Amino acid sequence: MSQSFYNESNDATASNQQQSLNHGGHEVMDMHETIGEIIAGLNLSIILRPQVKDPELLSILDNQYNFTLGMYNTIVESFKTGHDPSVPTGRYEMKTGNNFQYGIKPSQPKKPMQNASEINDEIISGFLLGAHKGSAKCMTAAATETTNPVVRRVVADSIPNCIEMAYEISIYQNKHGYYQVPQYTQQDMRAMLDAYATTTNPLH
């Protein structure tokens, strides 16, 4: 009995080890880049947090940091084990509305900072937006190179969360005039919207 249990235990251990090594070369490299990108974004939030002046931006930063930290742990666990993570992929929900203000208003030209003391909420929100965009791009590339089915699903399911967090930051920027959204004339917009038509000819 003890010998049988020993063999079964060894078989289970070998199976787990085999599953944890079920990764292709491109997958491993892209996952390292993805996880590094997430860490960079988390570290950036820690560095920038003491400089935030607007309570609204601070609340967004904290909510997004906490969610991203959980997402990071889920991705790392699935990558290391090759199995379903103990905490599944969550869904980020914005605390703000989704109304954009369209049009361009006069503003000062943007330029690089000359001194660290120039840091402000506009610059901080730009850093945060860039971090989410970078993570979304890395995850998209990694998901298309991943052979492990669990890791592929976890990473693919995390991409919409990066998009949602980036969208929340862009709404904040737009609300405060940091990110303005130009539009075409009504005539040109109508022409662009009507440039395509649906079809009803599926393959048989």
∠ CA 84-87-92 to the nearest 5 degrees?
Answer: 115
pLDDT of amino acid 191: 94
What residue numbers bound the domain in which 79 lies? 19-92+118-193
Most confident of 77-81, 108-112, 123-127: 123-127
> What's the CATH number where 25 sits?
1.20.1260.10
Residue 11 lies in a domain: no
pLDDT of amino acid 58: 98
Residue 88 lies in a domain: yes
Residue 71 lies in a domain: yes
Domain total in the chain:
1
* Residue 5 neighbours by CB under 8 Å, 6+ apart: none
Is residue 13 over pLDDT 80?
Answer: no
Confidence of residue 14 (pLDDT cuts 50, 70, 90): very low
CA–CA distance, 190 with 1 (Å, rounded to integer): 77
pLDDT of amino acid 106: 86
Is residue 21 over pLDDT 80?
Answer: no
Alpha helix (H) ranges present in 22-120?
A: 25-48, 55-81
Residue 161 lies in a domain: yes
Q: How far is CA 129 from CA 8, 44, 64, 138, 177, in A?
A: 50, 11, 11, 14, 15
pLDDT tens by residue, 143-193: 999 999 999 999 999 999 999 999 999 999 999 999 999 999 999 999 999
CA–CA distance, 61 with 55 (Å, rounded to integer): 10
pTM score of the predicted model:
0.86
Residue 110 lies in a domain: no
Is residue 2 over pLDDT 60?
Answer: no
pLDDT tens by residue, 48-75: 999 999 999 999 999 999 999 999 999 9
Confidence of residue 202 (pLDDT cuts 50, 70, 90): confident
